[in-house]
Structure 1
C-alpha cells in the first residue's frame, strides 16, 4: 500500500509505503490511519480544541488532510467510525496533556507510530459488537506491516521508518551524474545494531531471539505494526482467540505460538527518524518496500529514475566482439541502441518506468 496527503492545518506533505505480511489487513489499516495520527500530533492546542468543540456541537470539522488518491484506492467505510473514535480519544488526551510546547516533527512521528500500533492492539482486545468489524480488527492485529513515511516541509525532510522498507534520496552532481543518499536504516538481521538492541532487551535469550536471520526464527522485520503474536502474552493471545469469531479459531497461524516465547513484547512499531535539510542538488525521493532493494542496487535505481525525470540517458560505449566489424553490423548495433533510447521514456511515471 502507499499513501500521499497534504497537511491542511499545519505545513508539509506526507508520503508513505506500507508492506504487509501474513495478509494485507494491517497494511491497509495503517495506510488509511497513520497520516491522521501524524497530522493530529502536529496540531497546536487551539486547533485541537476547535476540532473537539466542533465534534461536541455537531458542527462540520476542519479538514485535517487533503488526500492524493488514485481512483482505485480502497478505504474501509465500515471501519471509519471505529477509526474516528480512536483518533478522537488520542486528540482528547493531547488536549488534556497540554504542555504549552510546540511538538517537533520527529517527536510527532514517533508518537504517532507508537499510538496507532497501541490502538490496533487495543481495538483487537476490546472487540466490536459488529461481527464484520470484530473479525476485521483481529485480522489487522494478527497480520503485520512495515512503514516508511516522509514528511516534507519546504527544505525540511524527515523520514520515519519501521521495518525493512527504505527511503533513498536522488542527488544530481555538478557533472550531471547521479548519487544516492540513504534516508533510513533497515530493521532486520542485516543491521547489527538491531540485533544488539534485541539481545539487550532480552538478555537471557541471546541464542534464540534472532535465529536464521529472523525474529524468533520466524519474522524478517525486527520492527512492525500489528503482529500481536510477537507482542501479546501467551495468555492474552489465547483469551482473545478463544473469545473471537470461528474464523479466527480455525486459523492455524493465529493459534500458533512462536518458539522460545518467554519475554514479550519482542516487536515494536517505534520508528527511527532521520532528518535532512534539502539542497538544490537533491532532486527526488524514492520510498519503496524491500522487494525493490533486494532486486536492484540503490545506485542503479537512482540513475534510472534520474535519467527518466531529466530525459537524459547516459549510454555505455558500444562493445563489439572483435576488430572485424562491418559497417552493416555497426549500423545494426547503433539502430538497436537508438530503439532502446526511444522506448526508455514511454512510461507515464517514474515508478512504472523503474518496475519495467
Structure 2
C-alpha cells in the first residue's frame, strides 16, 4: 500500500513537470540570455529566509518537557505563499501545539487558521471551572491571563482588524461549552481537538453569511470562507502525542532503531482519492445516484484534491445560500474565479467536512522527532527518505552505506561524482542550522541518486514565478525533537 501511494505521488509530480514543459518553452529564448545559476550563498539566503527555531527553556539545568524544541521553515512556490504554520505552548498544561496549514484558492483561509485554531483548541481543552473563571474575568472587565505562548517567525502575523470579531466568536464558543458542561468536567484531548476543528469551520461559515458593516472586514470574511485550507495539528503533553488531521498535510514520526538507523511511522492519513476509506465515506454520505460523480478524476466533484478542509464553502453551502451571499458581497469578490461557478453534479451538499481524524501515540524513548509537512514535501520525498535525512542531521551521524545507483549504469567518473556529493552532503549538514531547512534543501535539490545536486537546487530556486508552481508546491515543515530522557523517565 505504501509503495502504491508513493507511486501515485510520483505520477502526480511527473504530470506536473510534464505540463510545465510547454510553459517552459516560452522562457527558453530569454533563458539563453540570462543565468539561472545561483551561488551557494544565494541559495542559502533563499532557503533560510523563513526558518525559525525554538528551544524549550531549561529549569535548574533540566529540560522538563518531552519536547526539546522545534525547527520550522517554509519555501514558497505560489506568490504569495498559500501555506501557513503555527506553534505555541498551552500555558494551562505546558503542552505544545504545532500545526501546518495548506491553503488553496488563496491564502486567506490558511491565514485565519494560523491565527485562530489554537485558541479554539485551548478553550476546548480547559476544564469547566477554568472556563467559568475566564468568562467571569471577561464579564467583569478584569485582566485575562493568556492561554497561549506563541512561537512565531517575524514574518508570521496577526490580522489586527479581525481580532475583535475573532474574540467575539471564540467567547461564544466557550459560553456554549459552559452551558453544555458541568462543574468538574474535563474534556478528553480527542474530543477537544474534534470540537475545535468543527466549531472554527462553522464560525468561518457563519461570519461570512452574516457579513460585517466594515467593507474591508466583510470582504476578508468572504475570502476566508470561499478559499480553503487543510490542517495537520500535533498536541504533545508528556508522553501523549495526538495528531488531528483534515486533508493531505501529513505527520510522520522518526523512530531510532537499535542499530542507529531511523524508520518512519506515519501518524496521519491523507484524505484524498488515494485513501479508499475516504472515497467510501464520501459515497456513503450521498445517494447511490451520485456514486460516479462525487469523486471524479481523483478529485471531489472533479475539482478539489483534498476531501477534508476548512472553508471551501462552494462545496458546503446550498446553491441558494451561495447566490444570496455573493450577491450581497462586495464587487471585488467577483473578481475571484473560484466564486463564479457552482461545482458540477452539485445535488446534496455538504460534500466537504473539516472534521479531523485523530491519532493518539504514546511516546517512547526511541521516538526521536516528528515531522509535520504540507503535501509539497511529501510529493517530492518519500516518508522514509524524510526521516533518514532528518535523523542523520539531528544525530550528525551519516550511515556510510555502500552507494547504490538502482538500475543506472554509471562510469567511474560518475561514481567519483557521487562520492564527492556524499562528502558535500556531510558538510551541508553542518552548513544548515535548522533541520527543516536541511530537509527543504533535499526536497528541492535531490537528484536521481538521492543526493543534493547544487546545480539542480540553484535552477529550481531561480525559476520564474510562472514556472515555479508548475514544478513544485509551497513547502512548509515543522520538525519537533523529543527528549528521550524525559520520556523514558515518565510513568
Give me the whole-angstrom Cα distance separating, in 2, the residues matched to 1:199 and 1:111: 24
Q: CA deviation at 1:116?
A: 0.1
Unpaired stretches in structure 1, ≥5 consecutive residues: none
1:255 aligns with 2:335: no
Structure 1 match to 2:239:
155
Cα–Cα, structure 1 residues 312 and 256, in superposed 2: closer, same or farther, change >3 Å?
A: same
Q: CA deviation at 1:54?
A: 1.2
Pick aligned residue for 1:96 from 179, 185, 203: 179
Deviations 1:247-271, CA, capped at 9 Å, x for gaps: 1234332121000000000000000
For these two proteins, the number of residue pairs brought into alignment is 353
31-40 or 309-318: which moved more? Answer: 309-318
Distance 2:430 2:226 in 1: 42
Q: Per the alignment, in what secondary structure is the counterpart of residue 245 of structure 2?
A: strand
Question: Structure 1 residues 331, 274: closer, same or farther in 2, change over 3 A?
Answer: closer
2: distance between equivalents of 1:296 and 1:65? 33
- Residue 170 of structure 1 deviates from its aligned partner by 0.1
Change (3 A) 1:310 1:238: same
The question of 1:130 aligning with 2:214 is answered: yes
Select which of 186, 194, 203 maps to 1:110: 194
Gap regions ≥5 residues in structure 2: 1-83, 442-491
**After the TM superposition, which of the residue ranges 303-312 and 329-338 deviates more from structure 2?**
329-338
Q: Tell me what 1:289 maps to.
A: 374
- Offset of residue 343 of structure 1: 2.2
Give the counterpart of 2:298 among 213, 221, 228. Answer: 213
Cα distance in structure 2, aligned partners of 1:336 and 1:251: 46
Match of 1:351 in 2: 436
For the pair 1:78 / 2:161, whether they are aligned, the reply is yes
Report the Cα distance in structure 2 between the residues aligned to 1:96 and 1:334, rounded to whole angstroms: 66
Q: Is the 1:18–1:148 Cα contact (8 Å) retained in structure 2? A: yes
1:1-150 alignment runs, 5 A limit: 1-100=84-183, 101-150=185-234
My pick for the range that moved more, 240-249 or 15-24, is 240-249
Deviation readout 1:199-243 (Å, 9 max, x if unpaired): 000123101000000000000000000000000000000000001
Higher relative contact order (CA 8 A, sep 6+): 2
Q: Is the 8 A contact 1:10 1:42 kept in 2?
A: no
Q: 1:336 Cα shift?
A: 5.6
Query: Take 1:331 and 1:139, find their aligned partners in 2: how far apart are those partners?
Result: 53
Deviation at 1:5, TM superposition (A): 0.4
The Cα of 1:332 is off from its aligned counterpart by 8.4
Q: TM-score, normalised by structure 2?
A: 0.69
Distance 1:240 1:312, change over 3 A: same
Query: Shift of residue 330 of structure 1?
Result: 9.5
Contact 1:168-1:181 within 8 A present in 2 as well: yes
| SS of residue in 1 equivalent to 2:173 | helix
* Cα distance in structure 1, aligned partners of 2:194 and 2:342: 29
SS in 2 for 1:39: helix
Q: How far does residue 334 in structure 1 lie from its aligned partner after superposition?
A: 5.8
Q: Secondary structure at the match of 1:314?
A: coil
Q: Distance in 1 between matches of 2:339 and 2:419?
A: 58
**How far, CA to CA, are the matches of 2:337 and 2:431 in structure 1?**
47
Structure 1 residues 218, 303: CA separation in 2 closer, same or farther (over 3 Å shift)? Answer: same
Q: Counterpart of 1:232?
A: 317
Q: How far did residue 344 of structure 1 move? A: 2.8
Tell me if the contact between 1:180 and 1:299 (Cα under 8 Å) persists in the aligned partners: yes
TM-score (structure 1 length as normaliser): 0.95
